[in-house]
Amino acid sequence: MRERRRRERLPFIQMDARVKVGRGFFSNHWTEVQVNDFSKLGMAIVSDHEFKEGEKLQFSLRLNTEVGDITVERAEALVRNSRVGDDGTIYGLEFPGNQKTSIGESLGRIESVLTRYKAVSERIRS
């Protein structure tokens, strides 16, 4: 399959993620999801909850590292595609470019940490 992403998605150390579900303005129901891969432009998640292509989601992330956590609270993503995987439905999400500056910076920091982690992991395996 031809890669269509603008940036390579990266493995992660330990990332907790949750997505807000429900259509109501005052809905506070959040569901935990599994992150498959990540870049500052988007990520893939696995969820039992059904999302539709083009749907706007609100999500929160926490990357746990030895030197502290990087958190992203109440950011937005658009569902771009979905496919059935071994562990559930995998959703490809894209982060819109008009996020708050602090959210964009946190997504960039997470990508930076994951990039360094990947480089170290590859050196250890070599």
Measured in Å, how far apart are the chain's first and last C-alpha atoms?
27
CATH no., domain 15-125: 2.40.10.220
Flag the least confident range among 39-48, 61-70, 88-97, 117-126.
117-126
pLDDT band at 116 (very low <50, low <70, confident <90, very high): confident
Reading the block at residue 94, the tokens are: 């894209």
What pLDDT sits at residue 2? 63
Confidence of residue 10 (pLDDT cuts 50, 70, 90): low
CA distance 31 to 55: 16
The region, left, alpha or beta by phi > 0 then psi within -120 to 50, assigned to residue 75 is beta
CA–CA separation, 111 vs 20, rounded Å?
A: 22
- Report the alpha-carbon distance of residue 31 to residue 81 in Å, rounded: 19
Handedness of CA 103, 76, 13, 32 (dihedral sign): positive
**Residue carrying the six token digits 């470019």:** 97
94 sits in which H/E element: strand 88-94
**What are the start-end ranges of the H helices in the chain?**
101-125
Six token digits for residue 4: 């269509």
Distance of CA 78 to the CA centre of its chain: 11
Tens of pLDDT, residue by residue over 27-84, are 678 999 999 999 999 999 999 999 999 999 999 999 988 778 999 999 999 999 999 9
